[in-house]
Amino acid sequence: MGGGAATLALLALAAAVAGLFGGPVLALAVFAAGVLLTYAFHLRNVQRLAEWTHEPVGTPVPSARGIWGRAFSDLQRRSRLAYDVRERLSASLERFREASQAMPDGTLYLSAGDRIEWMNHKAEQHFGLDAVRDRGVAVTKLVRQPEFVRFLHAGDYADPLMLQSDRRPGLTMMIQIVPFGDEQKMIVSRDISQLERLETMRRDFVGNVSHEMRTPLTVVIGFLETLVDGLEDFRPDEVKRYLRLALEQSVRMETLIEDLLTLSALETGAPAPAEERVAVGPLVQDVAEDARLLSAGRHEVGLDIATGDEDAFLFGSAKELRSAFTNLASNAVRYTPAGGKIRLSWRRIDAGAEFAVEDDGIGVEPQHIHRLTERFYRVDRGRSRETGGTGLGLAIVKHILSRHDAELRIESVYGRGSRFSACFPAARLVPPAPRRTRK
Ligand code: ADP
């Protein structure tokens, strides 16, 4: 039986008892008073319920007695359930947004009509948008680059779009579009500027190598064709001269290939050995001797090893260090006119140790200095070629030094001379053996 019927029965009983003792008027009065009280009780609870619906979500439902008590506790249970589901949903939405924010790529969600719904910081940067301000705006009103608009409207998203940003110079993006749900789309943008730069470098490198090889090869082919066409027209000494010139060019190509192989081995090889001890004093003496041979008496080549530093050892590769030091010394010889002075030195410094080559040669103008270690970069192409340069020497030196945690420093005054120094950190120096104390 419902609570309403029980209340009615109770009222009828109270009215009947009152009727027995006081007559029908009293019975009616008791019954009316009961109905009024019951009505007030229900009205009060309806009012509390109405007030509760205006409270913030999660506010506990009011407590009550009787039928309202049961109804309220049922409501309380349902409201808690709904609240929990909502909390869980908003927590997972928040986690999803956090994950999207942390992504290294730009993510932009579009709703129907390609209107912006949400985007992460990367997408804001890539497209020059503002997640809050631009919400609800059609993306093509803000990103107007024709290639992008065409791509979005074409509807064929099998291949990504490569886009050079017109807002941020130097930014190249790979853009992918993934349609989902009901007319929704996800746009993923990736910054591929670095890859593009590497690709350009690779293309330039292949172009440079081909050019460097083609010049001597053209000369060799020219000589050979001339000889093949009329060997009998030339005197033996002329033939010999041609052959010698062809040989020179072939040696040039061989040197270039050797330098390229050295560079490639340095780039792909394992790090320089950290356990091999290199006796730098004798190594530097050999390098100075080679420089004297190359100079053939045209320069004064000196060597300066600070007292006490003759037996300083470095951890590293003797072969590589020799190649780097020889490159620096031979450059000094090649870029110093006859009669000039070249000084090699090896000494410990506060930060570790330094090998330096100083010359009073042609020097380098300041605007070229920071580019000297680029592959094939030469200040004076003609002079470099004449002296057998490949344009790869300093690139090799830089590589070798960085494999030894060392740094190449270049100081130069145009027309006065240069100083190229290799600075090794203290960690690369073999610590001196502890002195034995006599007992
Ligand atoms: P290269 O084979 O042309 O000498 P490097 O990489 O060894 O190539 O050097 C790059 C450029 O740096 C040279 O072409 C030259 O212009 C400049 N250079 C290097 N060493 C010296 C130096 N000691 N004095 C003046 N210029 C130098």
Ligand 1 test: best mutation among 259, 336, 362, 384, most atoms within 8 Å of CB?
Answer: 384
Largest CA distance in the chain: 159
Continuous segment of H or E residues that includes residue 89:
helix 66-102
Helices 236-268 + 193-230 axis angle, to 10: 160
Q: What is the pLDDT of residue 1?
A: 46
- For a ligand 1 pocket test, name from 372, 401, 419 the mutation site with the most ligand atoms within 8 angstroms of its C-beta: 372
Q: Please tell me if the CB atom of residue 216 comes closer than 6 angstroms to any atom of ligand 1.
A: no
Strands 341-349 and 300-305: parallel
Q: Which stretches of the chain drop beneath a pLDDT of 70?
A: 1-3, 272-274, 432-439
pLDDT of residue 267: 84
Q: In whole angstroms, what is the distance from residue 375 CA to residue 393 CA?
A: 8
Q: 58: closest CA among 38, 25, 85?
A: 85
Residue nearest to atom 4 of ligand 1 (CA): 389
Burial of 434 (0-12, 13-18, 19+ CB in 10 A): exposed
| H or E element, residue 421 | strand 417-425
Concatenated DSSP letters for 287-322? HHHHHHHHHTTSSEEEEEE-TT-TT-EEES-HHHHH
Evaluate: CB of 379 within 6 angstroms of ligand 1. Answer: yes
412 phi and psi angles, rounded to 5 deg: -155, 145
Report whether residue 369 contacts ligand 1, using a CB cutoff of 6 Å: no
Structural domain spans, the chain: 3-97, 103-191, 205-267, 276-430
pLDDT at site 49: 87
Q: What pairing do the DSSP bridges indicate for beta strands 277-279 and 313-315?
A: antiparallel
State whether the beta carbon of 335 lies less than 6 angstroms from ligand 1.
yes
pLDDT of residue 154: 92
CA of 328 to the centre of ligand 1 (A): 9
Query: What is the Å distance from ligand 1's center to 388 Cα?
Result: 11
User: Cα of 17 to ligand 1 centre, how many Å?
Assistant: 123
In angstroms, what is the span from residue 292 Cα to ligand 1's centroid? 18
- pTM passes above 0.75: no
Residues 176-227: tens digit of each pLDDT: 999 998 899 999 999 999 999 999 889 999 999 998 899 899 999 999 998 8
Domain 276-430, classified CATH 3.30.565.10, yes or no: yes
CA of residue 207 to ligand 1 center, whole Å = 21
Mutate to test the pocket of ligand 1, among 378, 400, 413, 421 (most ligand atoms within 8 A of CB): 378
List the residue whose alpha carbon is closest to atom 12 of ligand 1: 372
In this structure, whether the domain defined by 205-267 belongs to CATH 1.10.287.130 is answered with: yes
Ligand 1 centre and the CA of 62: distance in Å?
A: 88
Specify the pLDDT at position 318: 93
**CATH T-level fold of 103-191:** Beta-Lactamase (3.30.450)
Residue 173 belongs to what H/E stretch? strand 172-180
Six-digit token pair at 420?
A: 């190229």
Closest C-alpha residue for ligand 1 atom 8 = 391
Q: How far apart are CA 76 and CA 95, in angstroms?
A: 28
Cβ of residue 394 lying under 6 Å from some atom of ligand 1: yes
Q: What is the pLDDT of residue 326?
A: 97
Ligand 1 centre and the CA of 426: distance in Å?
28
CA of 372 to the centre of ligand 1 (A): 7
Distance CA 7, CA 389 (A): 112
3-class state of residue 27 by DSSP? helix
Nearest CA to ligand 1 atom 21: 331
Question: Residue 439: what pLDDT?
Answer: 44
In short, whether 393's Cβ falls inside 6 Å of ligand 1 is yes
- Cα(393) to ligand 1 centroid in Å equals 8
- How many Å lie between the centroid of ligand 1 and the Cα of residue 331? 6
